[in-house]
Amino acid sequence: MKDIIDKYVSKLEQAELAEPGQALLGFLDADLVWNREDPQTEILEGVFERININSLLFSPPREPYRSIISYLCRTNEGRILPEDCETRTFIHDIPVVPSLDPERLTQALRTRKAVMVQDRGIVAYGWVSPEQAYILYSSVCFACFVKFFSDYLQDSKNGSVAPEQREVLHKALSYLDPLPEEPDAELERGPFRDKARMIRAMDEAGKMVVGYKLVDSFFGNISYLYGDTLYISQTSSSLDELIGHIDPCPLDNSSCAGITASSELPAHRDILRKTGHLAVLHGHPKFSVIMSMDCDKRGDCDKEGECFRRCPEQREVRGYPVVPGEVGTGPFGLCRTVPPAIEEDKGVIVYGHGVFATGARDFNQALRGLLDVERNCREEYLRRIGE
């Protein structure tokens, strides 16, 4: 049990979401076990007594998330409402409570999976495993980053940026790592004629995507067409732990393996059919998501509130098309919006959701595509706010 707890605390620290030695993670099996001793565990144990959960994570976020989240808590009354796809789908909104009090936490967590404690940190729970608490904590950090930068861009256009808001922006920007023009190392070259080698290549690419922070939490997916079978990461799988979490999905639907495959399997399949390529990477780079939601017609559009599903505008960021679309195969599914827009050498940005990029033979071209889109989106963001 302790090994499982330590694993997710370590992942939190490696992802630079929490400072070393700050996170508290409790896991209830036969007994309630914490990753370390701390007086605050007594308060948090009160949450276990009130709701049916098996894990609880509490930690102050690491910079730049700490300053961003603190600012959002002060300037949003009682809850934070990000507009990215994952928040809309999984979190909805993030309640804010004034203190680390078990009754207040329980009240908020009865209807939401994570809560902010003003100037203290993030509390998130898991009902099956500690991994869920880790995923939700990461998702909250991502959502708040995107919301803060999106709001700043809109306020910059309106001429309403507050001095404190500008200070937080500059502090946050100082923590961002530069994005390289090219990946630091070449991935294994394809096309792959050996299944084991292909699986290793998918795992290698997934780790690189995570290493460049082109995904957060379990967001993102990856696929490769091997013969007549599309191998794709399983739904909710982490791209840096893909071995054992890749499903073979025959193109003729002769297997039910697709049941556990990524929900974006139809989009991957149709992208490969359109391009004739073999590899697809889908990530959630932050500035690509931020820029996808920037629109000059905000507040003056009859599709307001449904932009993510059916935006009627033809939009792009530095030549990269921005399309709407929902996960799945419905009338506004990504499988209907992304494939027609994708080109062999250019990624596609989905409104509030992320980027799809392809590789003709392997994942080298796709990884470069993700990096190119995110680097251009970050540069364009800074240009638009005058930085």
Contacts of 273 (CB under 8 A, 6+ apart): 339
pLDDT recorded at residue 159:
94
Whether residue 168 contacts residue 68, with contact meaning beta carbons closer than 8 Å, is answered with yes
Whether residue 116 contacts residue 137, with contact meaning beta carbons closer than 8 Å, is answered with no
364-384 and 130-158 helices, crossing angle to 10°: 40
The b/e string for 287-308 (b: 16+ C-beta within 10 A; e otherwise) is bbbbbbbbbeeeeeeeeeeebb
pLDDT recorded at residue 253:
72
Q: Give the DSSP H or E segment for 142.
A: helix 130-158
Residue with tokens 């091997």: 226
d(CA 170, CA 185): 31
pLDDT recorded at residue 223:
96
Residue 147 phi, psi dihedral angles, 5° rounding: -65, -45
3-state SS record for 178-232: CCCCCCCCCCCCCCCCCHHHHHHHHHHHHHHHHHCCCCCCCCCEEEEEECCEEEE
User: Counting beta carbons within 10 angstroms of the beta carbon of residue 164, is it exposed (0 to 12), middle (13 to 18) or buried (19 or more)?
Assistant: exposed
Of 322, 290, 313, 296, nearest to 157 by C-alpha is 296
Read off the amino acid at residue 165: Q
3-state SS record for 65-109: HHHHHHHHHHHCCCEECCCCHHHHHHHCCEEEECCCCHHHHHHHH
Residue with tokens 């098309």: 321
The CA-CA-CA angle for residues 85, 221, 8, to 5°, reads: 85
pTM of the model: 0.93
d(CA 272, CA 319): 21
pLDDT recorded at residue 308:
72
The b/e string for 93-130 (b: 16+ C-beta within 10 A; e otherwise) is bbbbbeebebeebbbbbeebbbbbbeebbbbbbbeeeb
User: What is the full DSSP assignment across 287-343?
Assistant: HHHHHHT--TTTTS-TTTT-HHHH--S-EEETTEEEE--BSSSSTTBHHHHHHHH-B
Contacts of 365 (CB under 8 A, 6+ apart): 279, 345, 357, 358, 359
pLDDT recorded at residue 60:
97
* Structural domains of the chain sorted by starting position, each given as residue range(s) with its CATH number in brackets: 2-174 (3.40.225.10), 195-384 (3.40.225.10)
Return the sign of the alpha-carbon dihedral for residues 256, 257, 259, 261: negative
Contacts of 351 (CB under 8 A, 6+ apart): 85, 292, 293, 307, 308, 311, 322, 323, 324, 325
Going residue by residue through the chain, which has 387 residues, state the pLDDT in tens, using 9 for 90 and above.
Answer: 788 899 999 999 999 999 999 999 999 988 899 999 999 999 999 999 999 999 999 999 999 999 999 999 999 888 998 887 777 777 788 999 999 999 999 999 999 999 999 999 999 999 989 999 999 999 999 999 999 999 999 999 999 999 999 999 999 999 999 998 889 889 999 999 899 999 999 999 999 999 999 988 667 899 999 999 999 999 888 899 999 999 999 988 766 555 666 778 899 999 999 999 999 999 999 999 999 999 877 666 656 666 776 677 788 999 999 999 887 777 888 888 999 999 867 899 999 989 999 999 999 999 999 999 999 999 999 999 998
pLDDT recorded at residue 164:
97
